Structure 1
């Protein structure tokens, strides 16, 4: 079977699984009233979405990295998607679920300004060809973006210090989660495109020429 056909089938399967996971997880939360069961189901849904998103992101690069590193990307996205909610307990300064779920404000890892900073570092590392570092940042971005997008259905995005956006429509949140890994992979490809690399190369050469003409040298950069 041609490679392109396999990729198409994989995307269809992953898109279907993500959609089903979102719908089942959200519907289960509406049906149950038990606090512990609700918290576990919510976190499990985040983790499952993270794992599926990690697979969708890693498979974009499977020809350019090892199988072990691909599994590491998936595992990272899976774990981080779940562990983000631990900041509820940190913010509450308590190990009791009741305290963690009744905060007066959103905990720090739910600030979407973190995503903006991570995205900048992701683009920089991709442009500078720190390949594995950029992919690891991409996996972390998948985890944070999908987690924040799912939470945004109820409370919107929180961009500190600017405030909160309006709650996200349910359809938009599912589409956003589906698109996230493919969009991040596309951004990576743009960062490695010949046109952009040629531009960056010319800029660096120009900067070096200006530095040398100003009487500077590289002795200050040597260690």
Structure 2
């Protein structure tokens, strides 16, 4: 399993580097249609590999549930760009050029959403919601970090950070799913301990 995790981490880095070349430096990059579809495909591919890497760690979940969560993460990783359509109020690519960032590209927005989901999963004791939260985190962080290589992160109300260097961006893409899995496992243990304590308390009462 460790070998698979290394392969997937390296694949993520390679996908980021190769994907950026295809989108921005290939002979087809002058086409807005090509860049739009290629860029979305790269985001989706990174989301797919990131979620798959996450589930190679010791996550207590069925294979079917893992596949469903991986599909969700893949779609969301690409779907974030839908706010370009919302901002342009148009489905035509020419109208989406050089627009300001939409809400789904605001990292602060997703941080709040993630926090609310984690708190909700903790209160209602729903492990599936807890896992879904990490899929959301993987999707938006991979998307934002990749975009951040060119435009920085949008941390409302503080503004934008400087662009993330290529090396740091690629390294984070390959490392973060592993870190998220460790955080998930650590918090999951606390989650279940909390359930056991509560159950015991209710029995005593």
| Structure 2 portions without partners, runs of 5+ | none
Normalized against structure 2, the TM-score is what? 0.86
**Residues 131, 171 of structure 1: CA spacing in aligned structure 2 closer, same or farther, 3 A cutoff?**
same
Indicate conservation of the 8 Å contact 2:114/2:136, yes or no.
no
Q: Which has the higher contact order (CA 8 A, sep 6+)?
A: 2
Query: Distance between the aligned counterparts of 2:16 and 2:91, measured in 1?
Result: 27
Counterpart of 1:93 (choices 89, 93, 99) is: 89
Query: Distance between the aligned counterparts of 2:70 and 2:129, measured in 1?
Result: 14
Query: Distance between the aligned counterparts of 1:26 and 1:19, measured in 2?
Result: 11
Query: Distance between the aligned counterparts of 2:56 and 2:162, measured in 1?
Result: 33
Quote the residue 1:36 is aligned against.
Answer: 33
Correspondence 1:55 to 2:52: yes
RMSD over aligned Cα, in angstroms? 2.4
Deviation of 1:196 (Å): 10
Correspondence 1:11 to 2:26: no
Deviation of 1:127 (Å): 4.7
Normalized against structure 1, the TM-score is what? 0.79
How many pairs are equivalent? 195
Within 5 Å, give how 1:48-127 maps onto structure 2. Answer: 48-62=45-59, 64-103=60-99, 105-124=100-119, 127=122
Correspondence 1:164 to 2:166: no
SS at 1:60 equivalent: coil
Which of the pair has more CA radius of gyration? 1
